[in-house]
Amino acid sequence: MDSKYEAVIGLECHCQLLTNSKLFCSCSTRFGEPANMNTCPVCLGLPGALPVLNKAAVAMAVKAGLGLNCTINPESQWSRKNYFYPDLPKGYQISQYDRPVAEHGFIEIQVNGESKRIGVQRIHMEEDAGKSLHEGFPDSSRNTYLDYNRSGVPLVEIVTRPDLRSSEEAYDYLTRLKEILEYLDVCDGNMEEGSLRCDANVSIRLKGAEKFGTRTELKNINSFRFVRKAIDYELNRQAEVLESGGRIIQETRLWNSDEERTVSMRSKEEAHDYRYFPDPDLPLLVLDTEWLAGIRKSMVELPEARRKRFVEAYAMSDYDAGVLTMTRALAEFFDETARVSGQPKAAANWIMGDLLRFYKDGNVDLKDLAQSPVTPKMLADMILLVETGTISGKIAKTVMEEMYKTGKAPAVIVEEKGLVQISNSGELEAIVDSVMTQHADAVSQFRSGKQGSLGFLVGQVMKATQGRANPQTVNELLRKRLAS
Ligand SMILES: [Zn+2]
């Protein structure tokens, strides 16, 4: 895109809430079940079936609103969004329209090392539709199959203001959004599985212009990587249209990831009129003040706040704070290890060095470290064994590996394998003497002024003790012996 243009981008993200049951019935939301297993008269849209609101879903939507710095509306309203499609058996979707549950928030992103606020215009709740299966059956060329397991699954739609100015900013916004939702345990943020879906409104204007250009809506973007590609493709396409004297048509375009381009799906003239109106089956959604206060109180420390705290409290680099806050589970693991050991620096080093490598090799999910064989307490105990001189730093690496393999406590491993550091001078003296006898050459070289021989002799003692000797004590002993 020519640098005389400026991009104007807004995102609309559909996020599936992590409830066990659907928004208006008690059917399971479990992913990957046999088709149409999790259905009932309500989510199949049978006549006369009435919706009953899932309180847990409302709690999650409120949490998302608070996490994105929104105002929570004490009263919001359910509306019917009317359209016909086979995967929508009622002929309407229950959504929120002019009175959403939360609005006027923001997410902070980083642009060239500076913080920028991206406005979150609104968050509303709605139910998902079912799924049309156009492929995978012998008669797929003639028939479409329908799976209503997803029908009625709770979603929040999070709509930004048109504050994003590049595909990079859009990518950063999504990364932050996903992270916050994960920390809050309200959405797993998996774009590939469809639990986070994102549409982008994209337009360009001449730099300095007040008025927005005509926008297109990009749909069907199903990975973080494609968000960047689809937006960049569309920005360039629009610039080319304008440069060649054409005009942008307001339309919906689909991202085709195989061909890496956007293609027109429908123009504004064909766009639906959804005839929204308040759902007569559902009363106003009124949030109890005390219940709301309880949710506010239950909010966890969010990633940005945690990064700032790590940098300030532990004198940590921005990069390290970023690594240790990748997931809430990892950040809590670090916090706990630092607290129990009282050694935040060592805790950070062991986690970022050895532990993350083990996790990576073992495909451990960093969102759920409950499956980790090493607990914060075990790591803290090991750090303290080093700190008190019971084991050397080198031996600690072995202990760490053994802890990860067996899940045994560090003290048990040290005991079983006889890894206790030898600091006892008497025991070490005998070994030093024997090393000096074996390497008389090195001894005489040192005595004739070759200082480097000392390192060699220390190395020999360490070798003789399989790394268990306290290097400082060995050094002192050798110096004393060599001087006499
Ligand atoms: Zn149901």
Ligand 1 centre distance from Cα of residue 34 (Å): 15
Crossing angle of helices 440-447 and 453-464, in 10° steps, is 150
In this prediction, residue 427 carries a pLDDT of 82
Ligand 1 centre distance from Cα of residue 90 (Å): 13
> What backbone phi and psi angles, to 5 degrees, belong to 413?
-60, -45
Ligand 1 centre distance from Cα of residue 416 (Å): 56
CA distance 357 to 447: 45
Angle CA 53–102–15, to nearest 5: 70
Ligand 1 centre distance from Cα of residue 26 (Å): 6
Instruction: Tell me the sheet residues that pair with 105.
Output: 120
Q: What is the full per-residue pLDDT of the chain (484 aa) written as tens digits?
A: 888 999 999 999 999 999 999 999 999 999 889 999 999 999 999 999 999 999 999 999 999 999 999 999 999 999 999 999 999 999 999 999 999 999 999 999 988 888 999 999 999 999 999 999 998 899 999 999 999 999 999 999 999 999 999 999 999 999 999 999 999 999 999 888 889 999 999 999 999 999 999 999 999 888 888 999 999 999 999 999 999 999 999 999 999 989 999 999 877 666 678 999 999 999 999 999 999 999 999 999 999 999 999 999 999 999 999 999 999 999 999 999 999 999 999 999 999 999 999 999 988 888 888 888 999 999 999 999 999 888 888 889 999 999 999 999 999 998 888 888 887 778 888 888 889 999 989 898 888 888 888 889 988 988 888 888 888 888 888 888 888 7
DSSP, collapsed to helix, strand or coil, labels residue 362 as coil
Ligand 1 centre distance from Cα of residue 271 (Å): 30
Question: CB count, 10 Å around CB of 143?
Answer: 10
CA distance 431 to 324: 43
Angle CA 277–280–283, to nearest 5: 110
Ligand 1 centre distance from Cα of residue 57 (Å): 15
Ligand 1 centre distance from Cα of residue 128 (Å): 12
Ligand 1 centre distance from Cα of residue 135 (Å): 25
CA 243 to chain centre: 40
Helices (H), 274-409: 289-298, 303-314, 318-324, 328-341, 344-350, 356-361, 376-387, 393-406
Ligand 1 centre distance from Cα of residue 306 (Å): 39
In this prediction, residue 268 carries a pLDDT of 65
Ligand 1 centre distance from Cα of residue 274 (Å): 24
Ligand 1 centre distance from Cα of residue 417 (Å): 57
Ligand 1 centre distance from Cα of residue 21 (Å): 8
Ligand 1 is an ion; residues with CB less than 5 A from it? 25, 27, 40, 42-43
Pairing status of strand 216-221 against strand 251-256: parallel
Ligand 1 centre distance from Cα of residue 48 (Å): 14
Ligand 1 centre distance from Cα of residue 102 (Å): 26
Q: 29 to each of 16, 38, 65, 143, how far by Cα in Å? A: 10, 7, 22, 26
Ligand 1 centre distance from Cα of residue 40 (Å): 4
Ligand 1 centre distance from Cα of residue 145 (Å): 19
Question: CB count, 10 Å around CB of 3?
Answer: 6
CA distance 334 to 317: 15
DSSP, collapsed to helix, strand or coil, labels residue 226 as helix
CA distance 153 to 91: 16
CA distance 242 to 217: 17
Close Cβ partners of 374 (under 8 Å, ≥ 6 residues apart): 355, 358, 400, 403, 404, 407
The single-letter code of the amino acid at 130 is: G
Crossing angle of helices 453-464 and 471-483, in 10° steps, is 130
CA distance 464 to 462: 5
Ligand 1 centre distance from Cα of residue 248 (Å): 43
Q: Which of 17, 38, 18, 16 is nearest to 27 (CA)?
A: 38
Ligand 1 centre distance from Cα of residue 42 (Å): 5
CA distance 335 to 345: 11
CA distance 30 to 19: 9
Ligand 1 centre distance from Cα of residue 43 (Å): 4
CA distance 302 to 212: 34
Ligand 1 centre distance from Cα of residue 149 (Å): 8
Ligand 1 centre distance from Cα of residue 44 (Å): 7
247-283 in b/e form (b: 16+ CB < 10 A) is ebeebbbbbeeeeeebeeeeeeeeeeeeeeeebeebe
In this prediction, residue 194 carries a pLDDT of 85
Polymer length of the chain: 484
Ligand 1 centre distance from Cα of residue 313 (Å): 49
In this prediction, residue 205 carries a pLDDT of 96
Quick one: three-class SS letters along 390-408? CCCHHHHHHHHHHHHHHCC
**How far is the first Cα of the chain from the last one, in angstroms, to the nearest whole number?**
79
Question: CB count, 10 Å around CB of 393?
Answer: 10
